[in-house]
Structure 1
Amino acid sequence: MAISIRLPSESSTPPHYRYRQNFLSPRIWRRILPVVLVFFLLVESYRFLSTGSPAPPTQLLQDTGAITPSPGGASTAAAADLDLGPPLTQLKTLVIVACHAIWLGGPTAGKEENEWVLESYQRGRNEQIVWGRHIEAGVKAAQEDEGALLVFSGGETRPGVGPRMEGGSYFDLAVARGLIDAPLLNRTTTELAALDSYQNLLFSLLRFHELTGSYPEHITLISYAFKKARFVDSHLAAIKYPETKFTFIGIDPEGIAEEEMEKIKLGEGKTREMWGKDPYACHEGGLRGKRRHRNGGRRGWGYKDTVMEQTVRGLLGWCRSRGAKGQIWEGGMLPWME
């Protein structure tokens, strides 16, 4: 008996199997893929043309709810994360005492040099006497204006003495001397991130904003008289704060020999020249190197978390933009500009 064997032909292949073979065929995908890409391109083009140009970053953040104004001036998210208390909205003036060293405490309330942590160039000058006068001038300015916030500004600048801050030690000294009464105590704070004079000014302004939810209508700053040009011509210009709303109280050390004072002023002239070339201390080495040297505690600052204005955030990050090229701020209107 003869046995015949039939091989399966294409007609005998199940329809669903033939469909799967055709669908996975590279020839089919070469035809479909361009059509899919063109479709998605047309859809995205339609969405762009129908909604207009993209909104600016601030508007996008507000539209998505990422940043919305809060009573404290910070974003809603930041306020929730930081648990900010109610703002001191009655304060309109900022009084800054720029700090220069750390007081360790002692029986003379800062009148003796051995109670201070000093740099080598500060020794033997009795500069602690003028620092006390700076504190007194700041307290007096704040007491004369019931709408003023007194800020002692200076960070953890001295290695080897633990997490002690310039600003905190100045406040402790003011209390130890009985300079701050109860009413002023509620209008006094510290700014504990600044590592140089530029940051004394800018960070104290942002500290004011943290406490009040607004920016100061006037700033009074107390430091050495020989540093006035640095603050006015360099720092004030760098942050675009109006000079008409700024008062500088300068107090220089007394009892320093004239020759020594000339050396101090000569050094200040060189420092001011450096600030003129690098207004935001962006360049590695030089002014930024001094910051790094003073920041042995590796302290950061969180002011970007408590400001909502994109221009202020841009100013804080200006070194990553054109600031590194020595250019003055050109990123838009800052909230304190006229």
Structure 2
Amino acid sequence: MVAGHSVYTSNSCGKVDKEDSWVLESYQKHPGQAATFVTHIKEGVETVAKDDAALLLFSGGETRKDAGPRSEAQSYWAVAESKGWFGNKETVRWRALTEEHARDSFENLLFSVCRFRELTGTYPTNITVVSYDFKEDRFAGLHRSALRFPESRFFYWGTPASSTAREAALKGEALVRQQFQEDPYGCRGSLHRKKLGRDPFHRSIPYPNGCPEIEGLFRYCGTALYSGSLPWI
């Protein structure tokens, strides 16, 4: 799963590494930021190319009002297509799909698990997440634990932020990580409000349709870990 961070809006995919081709939040407006998105896309494609049994999901909803009703996931798929799948078109393109409703990192993971079940009829045996290196503790620690997914079958591939953004990114990450430690399912307070703000087009979320076995997990909101039955335990 490649977690989306922005929406690509340029009419020419030849400008994918230019910041003005993406709708960026104020904290993302740093030189080199767009190139980090392309790196995530490339790493996701190349990781899946090494495993014929793997599925690639780009995850991210219609989070930017200024971008119009375009999803982060569609943007990433379009960039990969424009790049010829980085030389892996024949082996990856038909195994690369989208999850177009996630509004934060926890939903990137949870919704992608459900989308995988929807597409394949089963749940993933292994999960690999591609995102920034400074988010590893959030994904591989907090979010994986919230899903109670086995640590031995969860993998993380992190890439660095741009040098101009790293200091601010680390400070911001520390705050978000603390929020998820207190609210592991992102269903209360500031995390919940942030998700609402990332849904400018009021999209109806279809899940847990497609993954009925984990409906209880989708409905759960608490500070303790969900204790119900899960198909990967």
Name the TM tier (shorter chain). Answer: over 0.9
Provide the residue aligned with 1:100 in structure 2.
Answer: 5
> Equivalent residue for 1:176?
82
Q: Which residue of 1 aligns with 2:63?
A: 157
- Structure 2: which amino acid aligns with 1:328? L
Q: How many residues align?
A: 230
The answer to whether structure 1 residue 167 and structure 2 residue 64 are counterparts is no
Q: Deviations over 1:187-235 (max 9, x none)?
A: 1100001000001111111111011100111111100000000012210
Q: 2:31 matched to 1:134?
A: no
Trace 1:56-67 onto structure 2 (pairs within 5 A). Answer: none
Conserved 8 A contact 2:115-2:210: no
CA–CA separation in structure 2 for the residues paired with 1:240 and 1:100 = 25
Query: Structure 2 residue aligned with 1:261, among 130, 142, 166?
Result: 166
Question: Hey, what's the Cα distance between the residues in 2 that align with 1:240 and 1:304?
Answer: 17
Name the aligned partner's letter for residue 226 of structure 2.
W
* 1:334 maps to 2:224: no
Distance 1:212 1:335 in 2: 14
Find the aligned partners of 1:208 and 1:241 in 2 and give their Cα distance. Answer: 15
How far is the alpha carbon of 1:111 from its aligned partner? 1.2
Per the alignment, do residues 128 and 238 of structure 1 end up closer, same or farther by CA in structure 2, a change over 3 Å counting?
A: same
The match for 1:273 is: 178
Is 1:315 aligned with 2:217? yes
The 8 Å contact of residues 158 and 294 in structure 1, kept in 2 or not, is answered as yes
Pairing 1:117–2:23 present: yes
- Identify the residue that residue 305 of structure 1 maps to in structure 2: 209
- Tell whether the 8 Å contact from 1:109 to 1:176 is kept in structure 2 after alignment: no
The separation in 1 between residues aligned to 2:79 and 2:32, in whole angstroms, is 16
Higher relative contact order (CA 8 A, sep 6+): 2
Deviations 1:41-79 (A, max 9, x none): xxxxxxxxxxxxxxxxxxxxxxxxxxxxxxxxxxxxxxx
Ranges in structure 2 where 5+ consecutive residues have no aligned partner: none
CA contact (8 A) 1:109 1:173 kept: no
Match status 1:241 vs 2:149: yes
Find the aligned partners of 1:100 and 1:269 in 2 and give their Cα distance.
18
Please say if 1:291 is aligned against 2:195.
yes
Spell out structure 1 runs of 4+ moving beyond 2 A: 105-109, 253-256, 260-263
Shift of 1:124: 2.4
Contact 1:129 1:253 in 2 (8 A): no
Give unmatched runs, 5+ long, in structure 1: 1-95
Q: Distance in 2 between matches of 1:305 and 1:206?
A: 8
The yes-or-no answer on 1:231 pairing with 2:129 is no
Pairwise CA distance, 1:107 = 5.2
Secondary structure of the 1:114 match is: helix
Structure 2 distance, partners of 1:296, 1:265, is 27
SS of the residue aligned with 1:190? Answer: strand
Aligned partners of 1:152 and 1:190 also within 8 Å:
yes
Q: Percent identity?
A: 39
Partner secondary structure for residue 180 of structure 2: helix
- Root-mean-square deviation (CA, aligned residues, Å) is 1.3
Shift of 1:120: 1.0
* Counterpart Cα distance in 2 of 1:267 and 1:276: 14
Provide Cα deviations, 1:288-318, integer angstroms capped at 9, x if missing partner.
1100001011112212222232xx1110000
Q: Which residue of 2 aligns with 1:195?
A: 103
Q: For 1:200 and 1:245, how far apart are their aligned partners in 2? A: 17
Matched residue, 1:148 = 54
